[in-house]
Amino acid sequence: GDVDTASKLHADSGGLDILIAPVVGKKECHLMHKVDGDRFACGYDADLSTGYVDANKHPRSQFARVWKTVVSPGEILFLPQGTHHQCKNIEPCLSYSRFHLDTRNIQGFVDSMFEDDAPEIDHDQVIWNCIADLTNYVLVFEERFQAMSDEEKQALKIPTEFYQHIADLGVLRHICKDVIQRMRNMPRKSTLRKEWRNWTKLLKDIDNCLSLVA
């Protein structure tokens, strides 16, 4: 974008972290603490780049925690999910942005699914694909391990990512249980509530996978 191309203060929906990496040019970014952004609700009409927010219109914004940084090529700005932010090009700028999901911010992602604040994101499919990839990795590893001789098993150095995948599946197991409980507490006519049986089957798949390496 050109110089001075800018966004207003906002928080992206969807429950995902955001990574911003300029390829060419510099970008000035103002970040407001998630709690303060939710509490003060400054909205799209607030402009932090001027260093001034109308205190008559947003009186509580004067107490918000705000940080300013300039991101240059070779640097990456990480925004935890729900962070209110405003960006402005201080040079002609081409930047790369992407969303990020891991077990640290998965709960916010699930909250977004139930709030339906980002209908363009297929939340349940993303979670299902994550679980499918992890369980497939563990099952393939276990199959290869069982095919080894006793000598090969003793000499094997189990990769760190195997333990990480097991830990991630443990987190996702709790997420599944949380989703099932929340779905079953929804009104009977809710479309989302009807999916709780499928999530129960998914939970069983995780348990079966974890039982192999217990």
pLDDT digit string (tens) for 28-73? 999 988 888 777 655 555 677 766 677 777 777 778 888 899 999 9
Query: In this predicted structure, what is the pLDDT of residue 45?
Result: 59
HSE value, Cβ hemisphere, 13 Å, CA-based, for 117: 13
Q: Are residues 186 and 122 in the same domain?
A: yes
Domain end (from 100, 129, 164):
100
Q: Is 12 a domain residue?
A: no
Q: How far apart are CA 80 and CA 18, in angstroms?
A: 7
- How many domains are there within the chain? 2
Q: Are residues 60 and 110 in the same domain?
A: no
Query: In this predicted structure, what is the pLDDT of residue 64?
Result: 80
Q: Are residues 96 and 110 in the same domain?
A: no
Q: Is 4 a domain residue?
A: no
Domain end (from 100, 115, 139):
100
Q: Are residues 133 and 207 in the same domain?
A: yes
Query: In this predicted structure, what is the pLDDT of residue 121?
Result: 93
Q: Are residues 79 and 93 in the same domain?
A: yes
Q: Is 80 a domain residue?
A: yes
Q: Are residues 119 and 52 in the same domain?
A: no
Q: Are residues 123 and 66 in the same domain?
A: no
Element (H, E) at 90: none
Q: Are residues 95 and 110 in the same domain?
A: no
Query: In this predicted structure, what is the pLDDT of residue 57?
Result: 75
Q: Are residues 149 and 192 in the same domain?
A: yes
- Are residues 209 and 135 in contact, defined by beta-carbon separation less than 8 angstroms? yes
Q: Are residues 201 and 111 in the same domain?
A: yes
Q: Is 1 a domain residue?
A: no
Pair of tokens at residue 35: 């709690």
Q: Are residues 30 and 84 in the same domain?
A: yes
Residue spans of the chain under pLDDT 70 = 40-46, 50-52
Domain end (from 73, 100, 127):
100
Q: Are residues 112 and 93 in the same domain?
A: no
Q: Is 11 a domain residue?
A: no
Q: Which residues pair with 19 in a beta bridge?
A: 78, 98
Structural domain boundaries, residue 30: 17-100
